[in-house]
């Protein structure tokens, strides 16, 4: 077995206390454990996507009742960026439900959006589907910092989830992004019925990218009515914590981001995930189309972690 995959498998199956301890040690050796990156998400073009990703509310293949929205005007980006800055975000991420980027006025507008984000002194990230090298270079010239494109799952499980593009298409996009000098944000979704070995294989694929992705979003499936995964049984939150811990061990320098799915996770599970090495979250009450814990809830979570005394006495 490939040594990185073997390392992932061994770590994933450790006694949970051993795994948490090891992951936390790796985390401390490479990061300030009090530093949690705050990102904000905005869907700039919503729904009607030609891809058939089985988890996605935005795929045109499924009737999910989602209201479509064409590419947003630039003024809305300026307002959203200012709001994000005021609420303490460091990174602004924009997502479009496209299969791939097409040259033309829409792409030109996205380049202008990136310039606006940079004028507001935020890190800029976009996720626009597949890109070629020339397009990645234009994104870089516009000031883009990072490109998000997820591997989503293991190579083996992938064919059960997406049929309209291949695993290698995804890797080729990541290659263009890297060649253009952008940083890579790439992770996946868990809780789609995959095995623990699939989770390990996905993390091993990510860890073998050279250099490793600077950001690794770990999404927990939000089951969407109308999609093939609507009735998927929820994953045990401790399997989610294990996945975060193994991501930290395999990719010591990356930002591991708690992405979709936090609304169904307890505060305690999230605290364990931070201990296991997560150091980034999406702030705000909406992801692209689904709910995220609101800013108040997250501020309370972060202040609990900081140790700010709670208003009510805990012990009486």
Of residues 220 and 249, the one with the C-beta less far from ligand SAM: 220
Of residues 20 and 89, the one with the C-beta less far from ligand DTB: 89
93 carries an active-site annotation: yes
Of 259, 270, 279, 280, the one binding ligand DTB (CB under 6 A) is: 259
Under rule CB under 6 A, how many of the chain's residues touch ligand SAM? Answer: 20
Q: Are 49 and 69 in contact (CB under 8 A)?
A: no
Task: Evaluate the omega torsion of the peptide bond into residue 314 and state whether it is cis, within 30 degrees of 0.
Answer: no
Q: Per CB under 6 A, which of residues 165..204 are in contact with ligand SAM? A: 189
Please count the residues of the chain: 316
CA distances from 111 to 13, 39, 135, 157 (A): 44, 20, 10, 34
53 carries an active-site annotation: yes
The listed partner (ligand SF4, ligand DTB, ligand SAM, none) that binds 245, CB under 5 to 8 Å by sort, is none
Q: Per CB under 6 A, which of residues 113..172 are in contact with ligand SF4? A: 129
Task: Give residue 1's Cα distance to chain centre.
Answer: 28
Q: Are 281 and 240 in contact (CB under 8 A)?
A: no
200 carries an active-site annotation: no
Sign of CA dihedral 246, 249, 250, 254: positive
Of residues 7 and 248, the one with the C-beta less far from ligand DTB: 248
The phi and psi torsions of 289 (rounded to 5 degrees) equal -130, -15
Does 57 participate in binding ligand DTB (rule CB under 6 A)?
A: yes
Q: Which residues bind ligand SF4 (CB under 6 A)?
A: 49, 51, 53, 56, 58-59, 97, 99, 129
Active-site annotation, residues: 49, 53, 56, 93, 125, 185, 257
């Amino acid at each position: 077995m490939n040594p990185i995959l073997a390392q992932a498998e061994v770590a994933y199956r450790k006694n949970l206390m051993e795994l948490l301890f090891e992951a936390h040690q790796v985390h401390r050796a490479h990061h300030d454990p009090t530093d949690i990156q705050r990102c904000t998400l905005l869907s700039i073009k919503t729904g009607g996507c030609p891809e058939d990703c089985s988890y996605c509310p935005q795929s045109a293949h499924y009737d999910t009742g989602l209201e479509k929205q064409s590419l947003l005007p630039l003024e809305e980006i300026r307002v959203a960026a200012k709001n994000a800055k005021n609420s303490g975000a460091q990174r602004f991420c924009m997502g479009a439900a496209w299969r791939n980027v097409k040259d033309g006025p829409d792409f030109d507008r996205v380049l202008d959006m990136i310039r606006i984000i940079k004028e507001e002194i935020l890190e800029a990230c976009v996720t626009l589907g597949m890109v070629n090298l020339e397009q990645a270079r234009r994104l870089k010239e516009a000031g883009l910092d990072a490109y998000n494109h997820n591997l989503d799952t293991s190579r083996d499980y992938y064919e059960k989830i997406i049929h309209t593009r291949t695993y290698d298409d995804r890797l080729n996009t990541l290659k263009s992004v890297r060649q253009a000098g952008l940083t890579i944000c790439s992770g996946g979704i868990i809780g789609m019925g995959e095995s623990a070995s699939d989770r390990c294989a996905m993390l091993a694929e990510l860890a073998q990218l050279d250099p490793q992705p600077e950001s690794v979003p770990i999404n927990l499936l939000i089951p969407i009515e109308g999609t093939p995964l609507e009735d998927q049984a929820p994953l045990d939150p401790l399997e989610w914590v294990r996945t975060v811990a193994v991501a930290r061990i395999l990719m010591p320098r990356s930002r591991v981001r708690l992405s979709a799915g936090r609304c169904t996770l307890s505060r305690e599970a999230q605290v364990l995930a931070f201990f296991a090495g997560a150091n980034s979250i999406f702030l705000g009450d909406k992801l692209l189309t689904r709910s995220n814990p609101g800013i108040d809830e997250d501020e309370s979570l972060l202040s609990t972690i900081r140790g700010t005394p709670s208003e009510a006495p805990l012990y009486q």
